[in-house]
Structure 1
């Protein structure tokens, strides 16, 4: 059975009212008494009743995270990072899959279950661009636009660095896998821009046959497009994949063709998924600052919840990235 206030009070040797005062951080409680109560809470695993808290304060202590799908390992790892960050803020997380729509967020907000929401995407074309944070919309019929914070990654600069890394290895025919025709503002277009900037800076002409569009950023499409590239007889000695899933698919297709990585083709991805350390060869990648994105987004949302009666201005933060060199781009 779940621990109760009475259980905590009995272990701490105080009244139920004292336990309640500690939970709500009331002043004028002796430090020694407060510590006994906190130790008892930890020992019992007591968690406040969210329904009671909501009736008293108008808040639930719960936020929602809306991701496109948890089948994509990037979003699963992002969800874990958000949950860790939320726990440090004393918040719980309700996770919804949007599957390309905002239906999940709508369900959570209409049910008045959450104080605020984090979105990993606002549309299919903006996949992987970071986290948006806003208070949960009210049901009062207000028409004002919600103030939204945005914590994002350096898409263009990061892919430029990845491409320049391959150029520095002497690669001259570098394929870009992950383009999306018609995307003009999302992650795909931003990363394609970084690829093109790197080629231009190196004085290398872009070859249309090396820019490979895909329908989805999955292992399947990474493998299929790499196989298609090779079947067409296109010469390639390097691959910049716009996420790790595409890169892992590319490694599979190259291996099936007997093409050695990195001796014949160097491959680099983007996301620094846990599994990228364990592919054969281990995948070089861009670490986009996922944990920092999660921590900052949760922190800003917590600040916005606390200042609900005094709305904060919209904030936009971009976090740094790291190029992680592993076996797939080792010097041949």
Structure 2
């Protein structure tokens, strides 16, 4: 149990408050985290509109990431998501059913017990997930799929309500973030163009905690591919991306999409160089020097979200 508690602290940022969590956004963030790890993604079918649940945003993303990772280990290629409010109107039941192998009774019995793995891995995934959701009065269970084949994970979480909002405000610390606006709820993407993996992961974690879906690019070729997918709501780009010119890339993008300028940020260890000043003079974008302060970055990302609410 002590190991589970330690891993839970690692999996969830300390001090994360209870906020409204949009299911489709959490799924999108979980898929992006899997993609960054190089994992294949299953075909996911989820409702466009689902009830908002009361949970920790990062905790929910990590739980869904673990559920999808388990489904992939079980050979799943498709995940069907459903969500509905219970008859009492206080809880939301979320089911993620997959077409992978059907769990045995022993597997179901061992699912929440640490170090009991039936498909490889450490066997800690659902045990940590259960501990994470328990902080928000949530429950999680593994069962056989709805048609008797495959597996399904059933989660029960409190419905986000006016009372939940008041409770979150009561327990929130002074530096916690407010719930995101409609941009985050639709799962819009913040493109992070940074070739330093540690800095990129730090930026991504900060963005996800603010309500964005973070997508990383370590080269300008990857950045162009990400932009081609659409739905990019904001962009953070380093002045130098390897040997490539991040400023020239930002200028090229802004010339094609001038309305995005207020949600483009240039980062550099030397923010006073002439190329940066030239870009800022021509376009209404932001700049931030390295090393940067996470609190300052959070405020800017929140501002971008609220501007689209």
Settle same-fold status: TM greater than 0.5.
Answer: no
Q: TM-score, normalised by structure 1?
A: 0.27
Q: TM-score, normalised by structure 2?
A: 0.28
> Quick check: which has more Rg, 1 or 2?
1
